[in-house]
Structure 1
Amino acid sequence: MSLPDYIDEIKKFLVEDGFPEQIDAAVILGSGLGGFGDEIEQADSIPYADIPSFPQSTVEGHSGSLIVGEIEGKSVLAFSGRFHHYEGYAFAKTVLPVQLAKAFEVDKLIISNAAGGINLRYRVGDLMIIDGIIKQFFMVSEPALHTWDSNFEAYAQEVKTIARDLNIETQMGTYLFAKGPHYESKAEIRAFRKMGADAVGMSTAPELTEAAKLGVKAAAISLITNAAAGVTDQKLDHSEVKEAADQKKHVFARLVKGLIREF
């Protein structure tokens, strides 16, 4: 499957700026998780604003920079910040990081996000390996949401095994993709729970779907940063995301490093 012309232009620009022609792994860092960039050795970064044809991150907790470097001897491309549909971007544009990862011929793509916990057994700070997606609220005419990868569950099991070998406790669950930008109502969360959703967020589903279409091996991890509406009596606040991410950043980094090495 061919990539948009602007992906070739972006790669050419980055290679001329010193990025390697081929990269081993790519990581998309969700809200509050950009601190993983500090784990990358021999790192070089460039703001999204300096890259031609690159969208901009406007959401708190997304620094908006592209980082290249090494993790345990493997070359890594890290997207510190993503682009959401609710920011005004078409779904086809929100999957640019996946397309660029494909252009750099990555062997594996690790996608992370901050999500609200729906499953009543989940606690803030849990890491949930996504083994299923609910995205039924979208018209089939939206091309970035068409297909699904039959190997996705097997990939999730592989991530679970790697986490267990690292003595990292994880959940496995279903992620419900909502367009946002507003948090869901209590009634919606009750309905989502009945549908089988364990967590809810506003990203990741288009990226996983694009990875499947392009044949990129991908895994996704949600950090449960807050309880969804109605799970507790507390008012939802974006500051919860940063607090939960800060508390879990070392465990998250250890898991991502393990996936770069073993996945």
Structure 2
Amino acid sequence: MNLPKTILQIKEYLISVGFPEVLDAAVILGSGLGGFGSEIETPKTISYADIPGLPQSTVTGHSGALIVGKIAEKTVLAFSGRFHFYEGYGFDKTIIPVQLAKAFNAEKLIISNAAGGINLDFRVGDLMIIDNIIRQNKMLAPASPHRWDYSLYSYADSTARIAKKAGITTKRGSYLYVTGPNYETKAEIHAFRKLGGDAVGMSTAPELMEAARLNLKTVAISLITNAAAGVTDQKLDHAEVKEAAELKKEEFATLVKQLIIEL
């Protein structure tokens, strides 16, 4: 599978500054979840701003740095910050972390995000294993004669077993993707629930689509950081996203570490 020239150039640059040529795993960290980077042993960190050809992450809660090091003898690359459509980036930019994971021959990719809970049985702090995605815009993927399977059922089962073994309670569900940047209205959330959405967010779906195209072994996890509009009377605020992520950071880190080791 061919990768864009820019991706290969970024890889070459990272190797030139001491990054390894091959990875065991890559992790994309969502809003407020960048603290996982502190779990990486013997870390080497480089700011996105110092990497030629890489966009900048502008959202609060995304530090905008690459961290490479070890988790239980596994070589891991963490993206502390991602690129969103609502920041003005096109599809080709939002999927750069996935393409870099493939360029470094990562054996597995773990994608995380902060999401709003649509499912009425979900509570703030729940970890939801994504087993399917719902897209509002079918034109997000690049033109291709091929059809890719975006179902995540196979790895969702494995993820649930690993979580249970680690004593971590998880939910499962469908992630509904919106482009943002505004939070959804009550009417939209009502419609999304009827469509089968369990959680809603502004990332991840483009990354999952590209991971499927590149045949990457991928797991995606949503941290439910707030109830979506209309589920409660509470006003939506990005600060509560960061607060919920802070409360669940240890459990999230444990799950990601076990996935890196066992999946």
TM-score for both structures, normalised by structure 1: 0.97
Percent identical among aligned pairs is: 67
Distance 2:201 2:2 in 1: 29
CA deviation profile, 1:182-237 (whole Å, cap 9, x unmatched): 00000000000011100000000010110110111001000000000000001001
Alpha-carbon deviation of 1:150?
5.8
Secondary structure of residue in 2 paired with 1:11: helix
Aligned CA distance change for structure 1 residues 147 and 63 (closer, same or farther; 3 Å): farther
2:105 equivalent in structure 1: 105
CA deviation profile, 1:31-76 (whole Å, cap 9, x unmatched): 0000000000000100000001001000010000000000000000
Aligned CA distance change for structure 1 residues 144 and 202 (closer, same or farther; 3 Å): farther
Matched, 1:157 2:157: yes
2:86 equivalent in structure 1: 86
Distance 1:8 1:133 in 2: 29
Q: Which amino acid aligns with 1:189?
A: I
8 Å CA contact 2:150–2:208 kept in 1: the answer is: no
8 Å CA contact 2:141–2:209 kept in 1: the answer is: no
Alpha-carbon deviation of 1:149?
2.6
8 Å CA contact 1:44–1:69 kept in 2: the answer is: yes
Q: How many residues align?
A: 262
1:132 equivalent in structure 2: 132
User: What are the within-5 Å matches in structure 2 for residues 1-263 of structure 1?
Assistant: 1-135=1-135, 137-140=136-139, 142-143=141-142, 147-149=147-149, 152-263=152-263
Secondary structure of residue in 2 paired with 1:100: helix
Q: Which amino acid aligns with 2:241?
A: V
Distance 2:162 2:143 in 1: 29
Cα RMSD (Å) of the superposition? 1.4
Unaligned ranges ≥5, structure 1 = none
8 Å CA contact 2:133–2:150 kept in 1: the answer is: no
Distance 2:16 2:140 in 1: 37
Aligned CA distance change for structure 1 residues 144 and 75 (closer, same or farther; 3 Å): farther
Distance 1:147 1:134 in 2: 16
Q: Which amino acid aligns with 2:233?
A: D
8 Å CA contact 2:133–2:177 kept in 1: the answer is: yes
Distance 1:198 1:148 in 2: 22
Distance 2:217 2:38 in 1: 24
Secondary structure of residue in 2 paired with 1:70: strand
Aligned CA distance change for structure 1 residues 173 and 139 (closer, same or farther; 3 Å): closer
Aligned CA distance change for structure 1 residues 144 and 25 (closer, same or farther; 3 Å): farther
8 Å CA contact 1:131–1:153 kept in 2: the answer is: yes
Aligned CA distance change for structure 1 residues 246 and 154 (closer, same or farther; 3 Å): same
* Runs of 4+ displaced beyond 4 Å: 144-147
Alpha-carbon deviation of 1:161?
0.8
8 Å CA contact 1:147–1:212 kept in 2: the answer is: no
Alpha-carbon deviation of 1:167?
1.0
